[in-house]
């Protein structure tokens, strides 16, 4: 490899680092995204400009097909479906890394340095786990299968045997590399990926997506080592490190360990997903009554949740907030770390509606404000304000940090029905004397509420 090629790859690696830094803030995210995309395009172009490649037309055709699919998918995907898209992209990355490693394995033999073979085998196994696991997470979030944990008798034993077989076969392959062993390892990885994700409940799936994203990053880094490609090594390391850190942050925000999230359902401790609608009496009101409550309040906090995103009601909510602000009401949005489906998901949804970023306040900063708040308006959220996380040790969300909405003087819950959130348990805040429920589709109901405020 020439000195110019090495420097170009190093430049691409620096570009990925700068891109990740840019993505750490809303004002620099767009530039960071463009820098990362530019570095990726340059890294892909370098081999065509510096190497004498075979099958160039086939490679160009594959790039064209993949690019077209990516552009169309990115344009058509709804913001509410962004985690599913991340899962698919992540899975494709892991699968691609595994395939490349299999191709490299056929050129290895007993004389190949053991660390090179180990990195290759690692890429095959973990890349396959990431691919199949990501497909299952996509199916759960897209509701192509149940979002509840899928468990069956003998699952832990089957997973344990599969893991043990994989380790034994991997050691044998490192000692004497063989393509057949690599194929068997890939198949075992696919099975392990499915068994790993099946017991995970719907609310925990985004955390698993982040974990699998870290897996993919590690496989890309290992592949970069085998191929002696500094760009892949740096990019994979960045993804692996950031994905691992994000997984730990999300697990902490849920008040759970990663092990509990992955295997909690095997002993009844995972977030369950669905639940039955409650028939307990609650206090409800119409848009006109809630409009009076909001219009004459001095301090209001909005708690947005995934239901807001599903209803595509963020634009109407912004109009309502703007109108109330014009009338002298102080309003902020309280953002839970796992509001929506992934960290930052709710921020992006609200930014799409031109909500000023300064109004989006993180949980740690705003929790102290609820006791000074006249009205909390909860739109499409549930578990992130459920006091059971503090008071009920048997609850699946016990220990999860929540927004202290129950400390406000009045709470208005906008809900479609009395069905519980992803945790599958009732929210006692719904039955609090200070709580008023406003039933209906979020977008339609917010429209009526907006009209009622204008009429005052």
Catalytic residues: 383
Burial of 292 (0-12, 13-18, 19+ CB in 10 A): middle
- If you write DSSP's letter for every residue of 48-66 in order, what string do you get? HHHS--S-HHHHHHHHHHH
What is the radius of gyration, based on Cα positions, of the chain?
Answer: 25
Enclosing H/E stretch for 140: helix 114-141
Assigned token pair, 156: 């832990």
Provide the b/e sequence for 233-248 (b: ≥16 CB within 10 Å): bbbbbbbbebbbebbb
Pairing of strands 299-304, 375-379: parallel
Instruction: List the structure tokens of 456.
Output: 């005052």
∠ at Cα 133 (212, 249), nearest 5°? Answer: 30
What is the DSSP secondary-structure string of 387-407? THHHH-TTSTTTT-----GGG
Asked whether the beta carbons of 347 and 335 are under 8 A apart, the reply is yes
Kindly give the residue spans of alpha helices, DSSP state H, lying in 306-393. 306-310, 314-326, 345-352, 363-366, 388-391
Q: What is the DSSP letter of 7?
A: H
């Amino acid at each position: 490899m020439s000195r110019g090629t090495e420097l170009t790859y190093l430049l691409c690696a620096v570009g990925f680092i700068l891109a990740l830094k840019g993505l750490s803030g809303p004002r620099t995210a767009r530039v960071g995204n463009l820098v990362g995309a530019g570095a990726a395009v340059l890294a892909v172009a370098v081999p065509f400009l510096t190497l004498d490649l075979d099958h160039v037309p086939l490679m160009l055709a594959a790039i064209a097909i993949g690019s077209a699919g990516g552009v169309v998918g990115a344009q058509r995907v709804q913001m509410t479906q962004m985690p599913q898209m991340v899962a698919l992209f992540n899975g494709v990355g892991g699968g691609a890394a595994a395939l490349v490693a299999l191709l490299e394995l056929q050129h290895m033999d007993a004389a190949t340095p053991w660390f090179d073979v180990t990195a290759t085998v690692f890429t095959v196994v973990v890349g396959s786990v990431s691919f199949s696991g990501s497909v299952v997470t996509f199916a759960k979030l897209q509701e192509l299968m149940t979002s509840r944990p899928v468990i069956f008798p003998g699952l832990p034993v089957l997973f344990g045997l599969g893991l043990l077989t994989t380790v034994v076969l991997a050691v044998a392959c490192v000692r004497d590399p063989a393509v057949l062993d690599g194929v068997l390892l890939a198949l075992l990885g696919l099975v392990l990926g499915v068994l790993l994700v099946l017991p995970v409940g719907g609310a925990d799936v985004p955390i698993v997506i982040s974990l699998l994203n870290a897996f993919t990053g590690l496989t890309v880094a290992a592949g970069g080592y085998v191929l002696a490609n500094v760009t892949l090594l740096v990019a994979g390391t960045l993804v692996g490190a950031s994905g691992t850190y994000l997984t730990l942050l999300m697990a902490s925000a849920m008040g759970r360990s990663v092990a509990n999230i992955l295997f909690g359902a095997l002993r009844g401790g995972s977030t369950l997903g669905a639940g039955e609608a409650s028939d307990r009496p609650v206090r409800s009101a119409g848009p006109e009554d809630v409009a009076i409550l909001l219009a004459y309040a001095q301090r209001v906090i909005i708690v947005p949740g995934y239901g807001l995103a599903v209803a595509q009601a963020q634009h109407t909510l912004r109009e309502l907030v703007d109108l109330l602000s014009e009338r002298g009401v102080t309003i902020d949005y309280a953002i839970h770390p796992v509001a929506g489906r992934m960290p930052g998901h709710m921020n992006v949804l609200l930014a799409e509606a031109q909500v000023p970023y300064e109004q989006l306040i993180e949980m740690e900063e705003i929790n102290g404000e609820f006791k000074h708040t006249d009205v909390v308006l909860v739109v499409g959220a549930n578990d992130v304000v459920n006091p059971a996380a503090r008071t009920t040790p048997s609850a699946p969300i016990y220990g999860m940090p929540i927004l202290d909405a129950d400390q406000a003087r009045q709470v208005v819950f906008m809900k479609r029905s009395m069905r519980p959130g992803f945790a599958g348990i009732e929210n006692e805040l719904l039955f609090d004397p200070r709580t008023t429920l406003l039933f209906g589709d979020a977008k339609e109901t917010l429209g009526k509420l907006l009209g009622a405020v204008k009429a005052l």
